[in-house]
Amino acid sequence: MQGSDAAGAAAAVQSDAELNGPQADAVVHVDGPMVVFAGAGSGKTRVITYRIANLVATARVPPYRILAVTFTNKAAGEMKRRLERILGPEIVRDLWVGTFHATCARLLRRYHEAAGLERSFTIYDDDDQRAVMNRIYKELRIDDRRYPPRDVLGRIHREKQEGVTAAEFHPDRFGDEVVARCFSEYDRRLADANAVDFDDLLVKVLRIAEDMESSAGDELRRRFSHVLVDEFQDVNRVQYRLVRALTRRTKNLFVVGDDDQSIYRWRGADVRIVRNFKKDHPEAKVVKLEENYRSSGNVVAAALAVIRPAQDREPKELFTQNPDGDKVAVVACATERDEAAYVAERIRELLERGVSPDEIAIFYRVHAQSRVLEEVLRAERIPYQVVGGVRFFERAEVKDLVSYLRVLVNPKSDVDLVRIINVPSRKIGDTTVERLAQMAGELKKPMFDAILPLCGSDRIGPQPKKALARFHAMMTEIAEHAKTGSPREIAERVLVESGYEQMLKDENTDESEGRLMNLQELVGSIAEHEIEVLAAGEVPSLAGWLEKVALTATIDEMKDAPRVAMMTVHAAKGLEFSAVFLTGMEEDMFPFRSQDPSGRADLEEERRLAYVAVTRARHKLFVFHAERRMVFGGTKYGLPSRFLADLPAPVVDAKKTEVLRASFGRFIDRPAWSAEPPRPGAGATAPKLAWSHPQGKPAPAVPAPMQQRSLFDDGLPVRPAFSVDEGAPSPRGRAGGLATRRGPDRSVEVEPGERYVERDDDAPAAIGSGLGRRAAAAAATVRAGGLRRGSKVVHKQFGVGVVVDVDEAPDPTATVKFSGWTDKRIKVRFLQLLDDAS
């Protein structure tokens, strides 16, 4: 680092910063442990960035002695980019900025010997882990019904996250003997394959860092003078121990987090670590950033209301000086498709008003919700990108090519070898592979190295021998070329030489076409990586690319493109958008409740998750809940999420979609929880849900529906089953609580005061015929009023549409354009005319 650079940077830090009091404290206080409780939108990324800049520019800390741990690679990239503007690329290149996993992978390449690995080790993902475990089950003849491999792997995973090794594993539960056996066998196989799993990356580095005897440990502990950790509320035990070990000498551990945003408990994160930081480090300086610069007043108010009932929070009060802005729209929808159509409509409006698509995001609790949203956005020609979901790198053809490349880099990796040995088909069947595995076991060699010995034996027939020998020759040849070629060239060669490309070309279907394109994209990604690495002045390698691939998170794949982003709330952590659409805010969806009866939800964490979702929005926040929703093939009827009830009335603008408004004699299934009529005080505690509402909240003195309605002042049926007929669109009068349906025994008489509920499980067939009297009335309106082109209509299934054509016949039919569907031809009597006044 040149002196002038540093001086310039120091000046830049001073002039750029404009940090407020607490922020400045967090930046300039250099030595010793420090914890920053940074509320959502309080500028913590800025603080970390400027702190690093300050360390380098003012405190003159050599950049290579600074380690900054971010939560995602994407965040690491952004931080580096910001720092480059302040410090210049030369300095930033020497900084260590990355996720725990990426950092540990990098360290492990340096200290591989101390971890008993070769430098070329492979990182196994869940799929690989499962493959290894299946192999173990087969060979040890373990009953996979009694001990599901999934559970065993999950158990091992949890143990590793706590830093427990196979040797230390203490069987104390039923079935733990099996876990113990699998654990050590699994570790042994990974070691033999020169491979590590995600947990190993951290654990192995931790072993070295905590080893007071070895020189590697000593060196590692001296490596960094300052360690900074972002999103500290989501670190696990191993990660915490690691950063403590790394700062054992200097004590310069700086952590930033928000215990309110801890949402990864299910993967080992422990929010108590940040909450107890002061206890662990009595000398630690504590800073709280409580001013939110991101969101409008109403959004902040909503966020606070959601998080306030949470327990054991670090005391802090988020506030903002931003204007109140628009209210939070809470939108009641009929179905998920109605929800999607409404989302699309609002997005369309925003886009027309000049909002950039990348300033808009749609959130959901689970990926499964994305499909319908995607369909509708596609139909509406709104540019979007789905973050995560079925990941690119999980596609079969992509994994195949990756496996080929991994075998080239690390021929010991048996799971990769098995994956590709017969793809494309080389007449090397299961039996042959089995024999090969046996041979490898006996020779205590990797399977690849057992190929030739097996060919030299008389254990297999001449055909398999030939096939195996050819495969071996092919791979050897490619490996030979791989010594000189660039990663992209190697990948291309593999595709050709292996016959993989030919296989797909021969198939010549739409699917194979798509696969070929995916492979092209993969090669493109390798080429891109080459360019990046070359630009950084380093030599691109296949191993480097493979490592990057293994450690790429879904969110890292998010492109900087003018597209609406769709993602889970988990993926949204750390991001912000001008407009946020938070969908599926219903009980059992969000808070999510697993189908698995043993799977109890962690309500506290779900609440924090909701808080994260809300705090992503800068200006506009739309929250949605649907009356019914298709979930895993069945229709689920959902109550509005309890988190909605926490929103203060003054910041909420409650709306209903037109489809919901127009829905008459709602066909609400009668769920078990409505078996009893609501009684005062019973509403909130009735066994309608597996969860009770948060402790400490007194049961409402009024029936829950009424209590909630104060919030939804347009008569929104927050408890649909109890308020079925309310909010009907027109004053045509109630249906008298009676509705008719086809078939015998299906018309139901309803007592006064009770609401009519009806099944709606045979959807398409029931369209129209199940509509009841109001439908008839509506149809009459349509015919009498006359349906024209341009008329707005509602259809039970398809939602709101615009008539593009009417076919006058004895049974008039209209062609209607529905949002999110292809044009439909529908009998006019199944349509309801929307009077535009409503």
User: Which one of 100-108, 302-310, 518-526, 764-772 is the stretch in contact with DNA (CB under 7 A)?
Assistant: 100-108
Catalytically annotated residue among 5, 45, 109, 445:
45
User: Which one of 35-43, 218-226, 280-288, 595-603 is the stretch in contact with DNA (CB under 7 A)?
Assistant: 595-603
Cβ atoms of 123 and 198 closer than 8 Å: yes
Exactly one of 2, 14, 134, 476 binds DNA (CB under 7 A); that residue is 134
Query: HSE on the CB side for 745, CA within 13 Å?
Result: 0
| Cβ-based neighbours of 797, under 8 Å, separated by 6 or more | 763, 764, 767
CA distances from residue 305 to 134, 309, 605, 645 in whole angstroms, order as listed: 47, 8, 15, 9
Binding mask of the shown chain, residues 13 to 52, with x at each position contacting DNA by CB under 7 A = ----------------------------------------
Q: Is 431 in the site for DNA (CB under 7 A)?
A: yes
Catalytic residue at 160? no
Q: Is 139 in the site for DNA (CB under 7 A)?
A: no
Treating both helix axes as pointing N-terminal to C-terminal, what angle do 73-87 and 3-17 enclose, rounded to 10 degrees? 110
Q: Is 595 in the site for DNA (CB under 7 A)?
A: yes
For 616-668, the three-class secondary structure string (H helix, E strand, C coil) is CEEEEEEEEEECEEEECCEEEECCECHHHHCCCHHHEEEEECHHHHHCCCCCC
Helical (H) or strand (E) element with 36: strand 34-38
Cα 701 to Cα 684: distance, rounded to the nearest angstrom: 10
Cα 664 to Cα 669: distance, rounded to the nearest angstrom: 14
Catalytic residue at 339? no
User: Which one of 213-221, 592-600, 674-682, 805-813 is the stretch in contact with DNA (CB under 7 A)?
Assistant: 592-600
Q: How many residues does the chain have?
A: 838
User: Which one of 37-45, 438-446, 480-488, 625-633 is the stretch in contact with DNA (CB under 7 A)?
Assistant: 625-633
Catalytically annotated residue among 25, 44, 51, 369:
44
Cβ atoms of 372 and 628 closer than 8 Å: no
CA distances from residue 232 to 229, 256, 775, 812, 835 in whole angstroms, order as listed: 6, 6, 56, 64, 54
Kindly state the smallest distance separating residue 173's Cβ from DNA, in Å.
19
Please tell me whether the peptide bond between 591 and the residue prior to it is cis, using omega within 30 degrees of 0.
yes
Exactly one of 3, 141, 266, 321 binds DNA (CB under 7 A); that residue is 266
Q: How many residues bind DNA (CB under 7 A)?
A: 51
Q: Is 633 in the site for DNA (CB under 7 A)?
A: yes
Residue with Cβ nearer DNA (198 or 254): 198
Q: Is 261 in the site for DNA (CB under 7 A)?
A: no
Catalytic residue at 219? no
Q: Is 137 in the site for DNA (CB under 7 A)?
A: no
For 403-462, the three-class secondary structure string (H helix, E strand, C coil) is HHHHHHHCCCCHHHHHHHCCCCCCCCCHHHHHHHHHHHHHHCCCHHHHHHHHHHCCCCCH
Q: Is 500 in the site for DNA (CB under 7 A)?
A: no
| Cβ-based neighbours of 218, under 8 Å, separated by 6 or more | 212
Type of residue at 665: G
Catalytically annotated residue among 327, 419, 426, 616:
616
CA torsion sign, 113 to 118 to 121 to 126?
negative
Cα 505 to Cα 513: distance, rounded to the nearest angstrom: 7
Exactly one of 60, 81, 150, 789 binds DNA (CB under 7 A); that residue is 150
Q: Is 768 in the site for DNA (CB under 7 A)?
A: no
For 374-402, the three-class secondary structure string (H helix, E strand, C coil) is HHHHHHCCCCEEECCCCCHHHCHHHHHHH
Catalytic residue at 431? no
Catalytically annotated residue among 25, 185, 200, 231:
231
Cβ atoms of 74 and 23 closer than 8 Å: no
Q: Is 464 in the site for DNA (CB under 7 A)?
A: yes
User: Which one of 31-39, 218-226, 425-433, 684-692 is the stretch in contact with DNA (CB under 7 A)?
Assistant: 425-433
User: Which one of 165-173, 377-385, 590-598, 706-714 is the stretch in contact with DNA (CB under 7 A)?
Assistant: 590-598
Residue with Cβ nearer DNA (57 or 612): 612
Residue with Cβ nearer DNA (594 or 769): 594
Q: Is 367 in the site for DNA (CB under 7 A)?
A: yes
Q: Is 224 in the site for DNA (CB under 7 A)?
A: no
Q: Cite the active site residues.
A: 44-45, 230-231, 261, 616
Provide the binding-site residues for DNA, judged by CB under 7 A: 72, 99-102, 126, 130, 134, 148, 150, 157, 198-199, 263, 266-267, 365-368, 388, 390, 422, 425-432, 464, 551, 553-556, 567-568, 570-571, 592, 594-596, 599, 601, 630, 632-634
